[in-house]
Structure formats: structure tokens, C-alpha cells
Structure 1
């Protein structure tokens, strides 16, 4: 059987990884998961909810018997493996490149529209 301290340790480790990888301020795991939003795949969100549910059940001695230790351990392993695989520098670089691409596209569109307008008015 899995005890409340072990679940609390696992939840704390997931909270720490979320804080490091996404820059989310430490809060209850439910709130941190909501703030992470679509940056975490739905399957990992479901696994994280398994940890949240186990944490709630572990607080009640009679309900703690309903916790499936193997399922909690698997969910913890999956979530931590996914979060550890995230490269913060790569995410930052791809976000900056995406922003630069949007700016360049908009700039080209404005220049082409200006040249077409000049041609239509007879200045070119």
C-alpha cells in the first residue's frame, strides 16, 4: 500500500518540474496543471489528475485504501519522464522564431500592398 508521505513526495516532485519547465509559480497541483493548459498533452494531464486524486484520497484514512499504488507509480513515472524531456531553451527559441516569422510575413504583406497601391494609382 502506498502512504500519504510517498504521494506527497511525488506530487511535490511534479510541482517542482512544472515550476522549472514552464515557469509556473508554485501552487496546488490542480492550479498548476490548469495554468500549464495546452502546453501539456491531454494524456499527461490525465496522468497528473490521477496523482491529484490519489493525493486527495490519501488525506482520508478510510479512503486511502482505494488508491491503486501501481497506477499512481506509473502515472508519476510517465509525467516526470515527459516533463524531464522538455527542453526549455528549445521552447524559447521556437517561440522567438515563430514570432519573427509572423513579423516578417506581415512586413512583406504591407510592402506588397503598398507597391500594388502605388501601381494602381499610376505612380509606378
Structure 2
């Protein structure tokens, strides 16, 4: 059963790298993507990352309580599966376009204000 949990953590690591990006081991990717994950999901991921080296050791893996780790893995998997990468990219594009549009409106407003102040309009 612990081997299955280690394989589940490895699958979650691959899914986290695919959905959120990042390099390195599971704990490293979690720490780099801390702000993009909800706090509860991040804590569950840290719990899994702390258990990962213990699960690799044949004698120590028998000391691990697997039930909370399976719950944490399920919660992390559910969150990662709910992420729509294409929608996230589209949101970033719209954010950039919105920022640029606002900047253009501010510049036009300032231009009109200065022209009115100088008496040209």
C-alpha cells in the first residue's frame, strides 16, 4: 500500500509540474508555487512532501499513517484536476490587455487635460 502511495505522490508531482510549472522535487515545486495554490491544498501538499522520503525507506514506511496522506493526495489531485490551463492563459492575456487599455485611457485623459489647460481645446 505504501508503494501505491509513493506512486500517487509521483503522479501528483508530474501533474503539479504540468499544471503549475516548475522544476525540481515535489517539495521544491510546491514551495515555488505556494502563492498560486490555496492554503489548505498547499498544506496538504507539504504533508505529502514530508512523507515522501519516509515512504521510500522500506523499514520506515511501516510507521506512516496512510489514511491522512491518502486524503491529502485526493484533495491535491482534485484541485489540480480542476485547473484549466487554457483558461488561466486566456485570463493572463486579458489582464495584460486590460492594463494596457487602462494606461492608454489615462494617457488620453492627461493629454486632453493638458490641452484644455493650455487653451488648445
Shared fold, TM over 0.5: yes
Which residue does the alignment assign to 1:102?
Answer: 99
Q: For residue 77 of structure 1, report the CA deviation from its aligned partner.
A: 0.6
- Could you say what the CA RMSD is over the residues aligned between the two structures, in angstroms? 1.5
Residues 7 and 54 of structure 1 are in contact (CA less than 8 Å); yes or no, is this contact kept in structure 2?
no
Paired positions, count: 121
SS state of the match for residue 54, structure 1?
helix
Distance 1:11 1:60 in 2: 15
Q: Distance in 2 between matches of 1:38 and 1:113?
A: 36
> Which deviates more from structure 2 when the two are superposed, residues 92-101 or residues 56-65?
56-65
* Whole-angstrom distance in 2 between the partners of 1:79 and 1:37: 13
Indicate the residue corresponding to 1:68 in structure 2.
65
Output aligned runs, 1:30-69, within 5 Å: 30-61=27-58, 63-69=60-66
Q: CA deviation at 1:10?
A: 1.4
Q: Deviation string for 1:50-107 (max 9, x for gaps)?
A: 1112112224455434311110111111100110110001101111111111110010
The equivalent of 1:121 in structure 2 is 118
Following TM superposition, by how much is the alpha carbon of 1:120 offset from its aligned partner in structure 2, in angstroms? 0.5
- When normalised by structure 1's length, the TM-score is 0.88
SS in 2 for 1:9: helix
1:91 to 88, 100, 113: 88
